[in-house]
Amino acid sequence: MSSVEYGPNGAVMRPDKEGLDQIKQELAQREHAYPDGKTRPVGIFARYARILLIVWCVELLLQSGMVAGLLFAPSSMPGPFYEIGGDERMNLAVLSDWLILLTGIAAFVLVGRFTYRAQKNLFTIGSPHARMAPGWTVGWYFIPFANFWMPVMGMSQIYRGSQAAVGDKAGAGTLLAVWWGSWLFRGVPSWLAGIWSDSLMMVFLLLMASAVLSIVAGVSLIRIISDVDARQEMLGRGGVATVFD
């Protein structure tokens, strides 16, 4: 029975919030679902995103070894660690920074394509977990302040929606928290290292802490992508029905 109340002139006095939410969800599904009602595979984006994230983590590990050598055994490091072609502005440390940056950007593009398509698939099947527009699962990363929490909300909808779509119990809050927490705080140790520059050991430990947090974020994201990919593959083959066959 509706909880809407009408005034003397037919005006709504108390809106039916549950009914309005349902209407909004239905309109969102019409807007963001694939027109033909069929889901699209996410595996190609997931595969290459995982590869790039693994490469990114390996690059961070190698750079950590370089940092240790530069801080504690600078005399034993070969010339290219300090300059290339006589230019001190061009060395292996600078090149490694650029390589890590470019790999990270490429990985982000693929993760963005993955999350966009995964969320659109959830809208296509009418998942109640899908509320954020597919484009905003990527767009929120670029909005100041909102990018502290909105991206993880989008990923949570994708993760939990994909689980529910194949009949799995929604969960993995810890995995999402580890991923997003380590990503947000990865820059704090590096910032502290700039302040605590009088202690070589402390600088090293803080830089290593930053690298570890970055790697934890990368590994956690790989796990999230793999889990969503596996479930959305099942979704493309029949969703819940496949699980119980």
Q: What is the pLDDT of residues 47-106, one digit of tens each?
A: 999 999 999 999 999 989 888 888 788 777 777 777 766 666 667 878 888 999 999 999
8 Å CB contact between 78 and 85 = no
Q: Degrees (nearest 5) of the Cα angle 207, 91, 182?
A: 25
Per the model's pLDDT, the better-predicted residue between 110 and 65 turns out to be 110
- Least trusted range by pLDDT, from 18-22, 72-76, 170-174, 218-222: 18-22
With cut-offs at 50, 70 and 90, classify the pLDDT of residue 213.
very high
Does the residue 33 lie in any domain? no
pTM of the entire structure? Answer: 0.82
Share of the chain above pLDDT 90, in %: 53
- 199 CA to centre of own chain: 34
Share of the chain above pLDDT 70, in %: 80
Please give the tally of structural domains in the chain: 1
Does the residue 177 lie in any domain? yes
Does the residue 3 lie in any domain? no
Q: Degrees (nearest 5) of the Cα angle 192, 194, 200?
A: 95
The CA distance from 129 to 166, in Å, is 13
Q: What is the pLDDT of residue 74?
A: 79
Does the residue 19 lie in any domain? no
Does the residue 9 lie in any domain? no
Which structural domain, as residue segments, surrounds residue 203? 39-240
The CA distance from 211 to 205, in Å, is 10
With cut-offs at 50, 70 and 90, classify the pLDDT of residue 136.
very high
> Hey, CA dihedral for 129, 134, 239, 30, is it positive or negative?
positive
8 Å CB contact between 108 and 126 = no
List beta partners, residue 84: 87
What count of other Cβ atoms lies within 10 Å of the Cβ of residue 140?
18
List beta partners, residue 6: 12
Query: Average pLDDT of the chain?
Result: 84
The CA distance from 130 to 125, in Å, is 10
Long-range contacts of 142-150 (CB under 8 A, 24+ apart): 148/184
Helix axes 200-236, 187-195, angle to 10 degrees: 170
8 Å CB contact between 217 and 155 = no
- Least trusted range by pLDDT, from 22-31, 155-164, 199-208, 209-218: 22-31
Does the residue 121 lie in any domain? yes
Q: What is the pLDDT of residue 80?
A: 73
Does the residue 27 lie in any domain? no
Does the residue 99 lie in any domain? yes
